[in-house]
Each structure stands twice: as C-alpha cells, then as structure tokens.
Structure 1
Amino acid sequence: MPEPSANEIHQDTGAAAPGPARTGRAHAHAATLRRLEKSSGSLAAQAIARMDETLSWYRAMPPENRSWIGLVAQAGIAAFTEWFRHPDAPQAISTDVFGTAPRELTRAITLRQTVEMVRTTIEVMESAIDEVAAPGDESVLREALLVYAREIAFATAQVYAQAAEARGAWDARLESLVVNAVLSGEADEGAVSRAAALGWNSPDHVCVVLGTAPDGDSELTVEAIRRAARHAKLQVLTGVLGARLVVIAGGNDNPLAVAKALIGPYAAGPVVAGPIVPDLLAATRSAQAAAAGLKACGAWQDAPRPVLADDLLPERAMAGDPAAREQLVEEIYRPLEEAGSALLETLSVYLEQASSLEGAARMLFVHPNTVRYRLRRVTDVTGWSPSDVRSAFTLRIALILGRLAASDHKA
C-alpha cells in the first residue's frame, strides 16, 4: 500500500500544509481595530473639548502649553490603538505618550493636573466604546481600556518621578553651592539668587550651625535636618561638606535655640552655633565664627552641647582667631576703658587676687563694698560677671588682649 503524501496527512489532521512562512496573521478584533484607527482623531478632539469645558486650569494656560497637552492626548489615543493591536508586545508607554511634549511641560502642569488630563481622555474613550467597538467587541475593548488606563497611570507616575529626581539632584547641587559659598566667605548676590530659587525667602535672622556629620547616607542626614527645621518653623539651607554638617538657619533670633532644635541629626561631638546676622550675605561672618569655635572647642572640655561661638571667644582667641581677638577687645576692653580707669584697675586687681573682694579692697585701699559696686558696673558694661569662673576667664583674656593692642598702638 503506498504511503500517503504529506498533503494528504495534513488534510486528514486538519493541519496546514507546510509552505512558506507566513508574514503575519489577522487580528482577532480586526474590525474594532480599524474603527478605532479611524476614530482616533475625533476622540482626541473630543478629549480636548472636554478639557476646555471642565478643567479651568487648562483654559487659563497659554496657547503653547495647551497645544502640547493636545499632542499628549492624541499620542495617548494613538498609543492605545497600537497597544490594542499588539497587547502582548513590550511597549514604553511613557515614551509613546509623554515623549511628544517637552520636558518643561512637567514644570508647567502639576501631577494632579496631569492625572485630570489623563482621566478626562480615558473617560472620553470609554464613553465612545459602544460606537467604536464592532458588534460583540464592546466588553473586549472596555477591558483593554481598563488595563491601558492602569499602564498609563504608572507611566504618568514614572515621568513625574524622574522629573522630581532630576530636579532634586539639581536642587541639591545648587544648595551645596550656596552653603559652600557662605562657609568659604564667597557669598554674593549670585548665592542669594540661588538660595531664592531653592525657596529661601530672606528671613531677618540668620545663623550658621556647625558640627560633625554622621556616618552613612548624607541625603538621609539632610532630610532629617529638614524635618527638624519644619518642626521648629525654621528655614534652612544645609549640606554635608567633608566631615562637617553645615546648616544655615533663618527665622529665629536665638542661635542657641536654633542649634538645640536642629541638633538631633548631628554626630557625637561639639555643635557650635554662630552669632545671629541680618541676612544670607552676612552669614559668612556667622559661619566663620562657628568654624573657629568648632576648631577651638576641644580646649573647653566642659563646653555645653550645643555651644555658642561667642561663648568660645577666649579659646578662639588663643587658637589664633583674629575676629575673636578683635571682638574681645572691642566688646570688653574698650568699653571698660571708656568707663574710666577705676573699673579696669579694679577688675584687674580682683582677678589677680583670686576673685577675693577683701584682697582686692586691700590692694586698692578702698572698702569691699566699693569693689563690689565696681564689679557690678563691669557686669553692666560688658555683660560678663567677674564672680563667675567662666566669665572671669573671658574677662582676663580680654584684658590681656586689650593691653597688647594698646602697647602695639603706642609702639
């Protein structure tokens, strides 16, 4: 019995006879696909008309931005058509839809507005399903639109997440430039402009807080500073520069309170708050004082944490900080000198006599009450009390520096 031919075998089994490879196959819902392709233009027009009718922010936008939004809506409908044609093919929906618009559009419209735009377009397409779908394909097209709506939602989130990441990275670099300019003494109007771009609205009271940065991700440290600042109602510009965590804070005229509010994210070790200055341009002075205080803080083993840079004036002066030396002379020695020689002489003798009222009185040939009165006057004039050990140390350094400055002037 002769063997059956290959064609006869395929005819018996119902399989297609072997031959040239097919170049394609008919779509399972070809009629619906054709009708969807024909309707894409009118659907886009309806979506834009619905936006103009229901979205007030769309009507208020300039014509250029409205035209870009129209292109996005058209691209979304076209992308759905292509997605319906090949539902299993990997497609980059964010590129297909949002790639038609410039990157600046993500700044022109918010994420909420984009969601409203996408929702309006999907609603228009959903309302037209009965007209667009071929008889019997209504449920298929509706289910496809639901799946596509989910995908376009993810694509929208991805576009704005990428834009936010790029903007965040740029803001971080900009903030780092401002902080570095203040710390290095190079702050100028350009730094003020950059700070304004970051949301800094020029508070009246500004100070700089310095300390050691913790190990780990610096971005987490910066975010912790921001949270603490929001809780304390402070404006901050911050960054990790090397091993130091730098915070420029505005909105409070008490630098110690500012430092206490922000101290949480700092690593163990001294935290120094510079003096209050009027604005960002003057913040360099606060930063330099804080930096000098941080350097000299090791000389005061019992220093509080945080500590004011002005409370470290004697250590800063001994460490070679010219600003501290000048401040001690101008704020302590000069006022005492102008108040009369009796105060300077009484203070000097009192400090030399181990803070003894009776000993100073004997040396000066006056009554102890006179010494007591003059020391109260010293406190009134300088703000430092000779009876306090720490203040007495500061006053002693100021007297030494004042005498050195006087002798230099005579020479």
Structure 2
Amino acid sequence: MPQPEREHSPATPAAHPAPAHPHTATLRRLEKSSGRLAANAIARMDETLPWYRAMPPENRSWIGLVAQAGIAAFTEWFRHPETPQAISTDVFGTAPRELTRAITLRQTVEMVRTTIEVMEAAIEEVAAPGDESILREALLVYAREIAFATAQVYAQAAEARGAWDARLESLVVNAVLSGEADEGALSRAAALGWNSPEHVCVVLGTAPEGDSELTVEAIRRAARHHKLQVLTGVLGDRLVVIAGGSDNPIQVAKSLIGPFAAGPVVAGPVVSDLLNATKSAQAAAAGLKACTAWQDAPRPVLADDLLPERAIASDPAARDQLVEEIYRPLEEAGSALLETLSVYLEQASSLEGAARMLFVHPNTVRYRLRRVTDVTGWSPSDVRSAFTLRIALILGRLADGDPQS
C-alpha cells in the first residue's frame, strides 16, 4: 500500500547534504595515520635532536602534544582547505606559554622541520593512488603556514617579555634614583641579566625627543660595543644610565654619550654595587641641576668636579664632601697649610704677596702649596681648583663656627 507523502513545513526547508570531499580516500587514510605519524615524529626527534633527549619529561610531553596537534591541524586543514585556520592556536595552543621559554626558536624550527619531514616521507603510503602530488602540495603550503605561525608565537612572546622587561628595568632605575634600592631591586636587576659587576656608576643627562624605546636601545648598543652592563630608562625629560664594568666614570659617560640630547651630561662617582648606586645617582642628579652655574663645564663632566656649584646649590652631600675631603685633611696637616692657602687665595694667587703677608720666603709658600695639593688633590695654582678650595675653606670655617653644622 503506497505511503502518503510527508508534508514539509515551509519554515524548515530540507537540509542540503554537505558536498563530498574531492579526496575522500586520502583524507580517510590521513585520519587513520595521524597517531602513527605523531609517534614517528617523536621517535625521530628523540633520535636526531640531542636537546630533546636532554629535556625533562614534562617538557618532552608538551613537545609531543605540539607535534600531535600539528599533524591533527594538517588533517583538518586538508579537510577544509577553503576555510582559513588559526594554525598558531590549533598547534601551539596545546602547550603552556612557558614552553616558549623552555625551548628556543631554533629548537622549535628543528621540531617543526622534523615533523614535516616525517609527514613528507609518508606521503606515498598515506595518499590514495593518484593523490600523491595533491597531498605533497598541500603539505608544502601547510609547512609555510606553520612556519609563519611559529614566528608569530615567538614574536608575541618576545614582545610581551620585552614590555615586561622594560617595566622591570624602569622600576630598578627609579629605585636607584630615588634612594629606595633594596634586595628586591637586586633580584629584579638579576632577572634582567645584571650580574653584579664590581664597579658601578650612574650617568644622567637630557633625554632626546621622540621614541624613548629607540633611545634605550641606542644606549644598549653602545654599552655592548664597549663591553659595559647597563640598566637604563627615560624618566621624564632625563635619560638615566646605570653602568657597570668600568672604574672610570668619565670614560663610561663618553662611551654612552651619543644617544643623549644636547646639554650637560654628568657622571656620578664609582661605587661598589647596585645597592650603593643611589649615592652615585644622587651626586649625578645634583651635578646636573648645578651644572648651569659652570658655563664652561666639559661634556661629560664628573659630579665631583661640580662640588662647589653643588654646595652653593644647597647639596648637603657636596658640602660634607668638601669639608671632609679638603678642609679636615688640611686642618689635620697643621695650621700653617690652612693659613698659607687662605692668604694665597686672598692675595689673588700671588706667591710674593702671600710671602709678604706671612713674613716667609716665597719658596716656603711654594712648598706649602705643593703640600696642599698632595693632601687634597686640588692644586691652588689652577683657577678651577682654587675656586673649589676657596669654597671648601668657607664651608669648613662655617662648620667650625657652628657646633650644630
């Protein structure tokens, strides 16, 4: 008995069957071979890649998952070649983000190459008769896409790591400059590759206009060229460089001066480590502030060469340094040196005039002034040194006259 025809609802049209894949047999054989191909790829890596054999089991298992995901992604890509696939997500999304730190880009390329070679070697076996060239061409296109995906994954990881490193470096530089450097700053610096050099100094100057990242990279290139370690950053309008590896701060500043903008560049004194770099940074900052008072200052200039300007600009560290390094040693060496230096400076640096005021022979004055140079390191016959000595004498007398100073 004939069956009545079923009525189709106008709201639900009949479903159209999906078009058949043009290479159904090859696709079916590829699906069945995926597990075996992944196992062969892992075995080939274990055989030919020494770094893979040396890795801990956890990382090896993640790499195995990536290889399996790569072959599975190729199968899916071959099934729907017209649909763009997010290969980087399909393949590398199976592994944790930390894997990009565990294996290098070169090792990842070797892993991908090995997997592709295993798949290519199996084409004759996997492809249905007559589909060998089709499968080979598809594999070549897929290999290109997986190469771009690999580059993208590592580029994104490098960008994220670079941004994080820049923030970390900025925290260290700011801690040193503000006097808040502690063990936490040391650990952050170590994470950035700072290996605690014996000699450290801070160089300060004006930052150029434009992209601060380009300025920082220029400092790093100059540091690598001169074999220096640096932690650097742009803070406001100032370019700050913490440099390690040299006991000559003026030479360090000359080596790194290129990226600085026009204007004074001041190098702080050398200190023993990063924790003490605050002293160098504060001296450099005070020198940069006071440098406008010395119009003929060299570029770069040492912070210690700006001691008189810094003292006049109310830098207590500079005042203490002038008193402790110049006035006190002269005081301990005997009153004759202090008296002779004072009279000599008051007499417009005249040996004869000082000798008359002191009732001594000019040679005696000359000998005492040489002793002043030996004791302090500053020569009274040099105009700049004489200015520094004069400020030190004034500060010393003020300190002696005020018990609270």
Q: Percent identity?
A: 90
Number of the residue aligned with 1:59: 53
Task: Identify which of 110, 117, 120 aligns with 1:116.
Answer: 110
Q: Deviations over 1:310-338 (max 9, x none)?
A: 00000000000000000000000000000
Q: Give 3-state SS (helix, strand or coil) of 1:409's partner.
A: coil
Number of the residue aligned with 1:196: 190
Residue identity opposite 2:381 in structure 1: S
- Does 2:353 align with 1:370? no
Task: Identify which of 390, 399, 408 aligns with 2:393.
Answer: 399
Residue identity opposite 1:162 in structure 2: Q
- Alignment map for 1:84-233 (pairs within 5 Å): 84-233=78-227
Supply the distance in 2 between the matched residues of 1:61 and 1:368 (Cα, whole angstroms).
Answer: 81
Number of the residue aligned with 2:317: 323
Number of the residue aligned with 1:274: 268
- Does 2:283 align with 1:289? yes
| TM-score normalised according to structure 1 size | 0.95
Number of the residue aligned with 2:305: 311
Number of the residue aligned with 1:27: 21
Give, in angstroms, the shift of residue 410 of structure 1: 8.5
- Does 2:376 align with 1:382? yes
Supply the distance in 2 between the matched residues of 1:382 and 1:196 (Cα, whole angstroms).
Answer: 38
Q: Deviations over 1:99-125 (max 9, x none)?
A: 000000011111111011100100000
Q: Give 3-state SS (helix, strand or coil) of 1:253's partner.
A: coil
Supply the distance in 2 between the matched residues of 1:410 and 1:311 (Cα, whole angstroms).
Answer: 27
Q: Deviations over 1:33-89 (max 9, x none)?
A: 000001001000110111111111111111111111111000000000011111121
Q: Any gaps of 5 or more consecutive residues in structure 2?
A: 1-12
Supply the distance in 2 between the matched residues of 1:48 and 1:223 (Cα, whole angstroms).
Answer: 40
Residue identity opposite 2:222 in structure 1: A
| TM-score normalised according to structure 2 size | 0.96
Give, in angstroms, the shift of residue 21 of structure 1: 6.1
Q: Give 3-state SS (helix, strand or coil) of 1:385's partner.
A: coil
Task: Identify which of 47, 55, 62 aligns with 2:41.
Answer: 47
Q: Give 3-state SS (helix, strand or coil) of 2:234's partner.
A: strand
- Does 2:330 align with 1:336? yes
Q: Any gaps of 5 or more consecutive residues in structure 1?
A: 1-18
Q: Deviations over 1:252-300 (max 9, x none)?
A: 0000000000000000010000000000000000000000000000000
- Does 2:346 align with 1:360? no
Supply the distance in 2 between the matched residues of 1:135 and 1:91 (Cα, whole angstroms).
Answer: 27
Task: Identify which of 341, 344, 347 aligns with 2:341.
Answer: 347
Supply the distance in 1 between the matched residues of 2:314 and 2:119 (Cα, whole angstroms).
Answer: 75
Supply the distance in 2 between the matched residues of 1:410 and 1:28 (Cα, whole angstroms).
Answer: 97
Supply the distance in 2 between the matched residues of 1:287 and 1:342 (Cα, whole angstroms).
Answer: 37
Residue identity opposite 1:104 in structure 2: E
Supply the distance in 2 between the matched residues of 1:41 and 1:409 (Cα, whole angstroms).
Answer: 88
Q: Give 3-state SS (helix, strand or coil) of 2:220's partner.
A: helix
Supply the distance in 1 between the matched residues of 2:14 and 2:327 (Cα, whole angstroms).
Answer: 104
Q: Give 3-state SS (helix, strand or coil) of 2:402's partner.
A: helix
Supply the distance in 2 between the matched residues of 1:186 and 1:401 (Cα, whole angstroms).
Answer: 29
Task: Identify which of 79, 101, 106 aligns with 2:73.
Answer: 79
Supply the distance in 2 between the matched residues of 1:174 and 1:358 (Cα, whole angstroms).
Answer: 61
Q: Give 3-state SS (helix, strand or coil) of 1:320's partner.
A: coil
Residue identity opposite 2:78 in structure 1: F
Residue identity opposite 2:54 in structure 1: A
Give, in angstroms, the shift of residue 20 of structure 1: 5.2
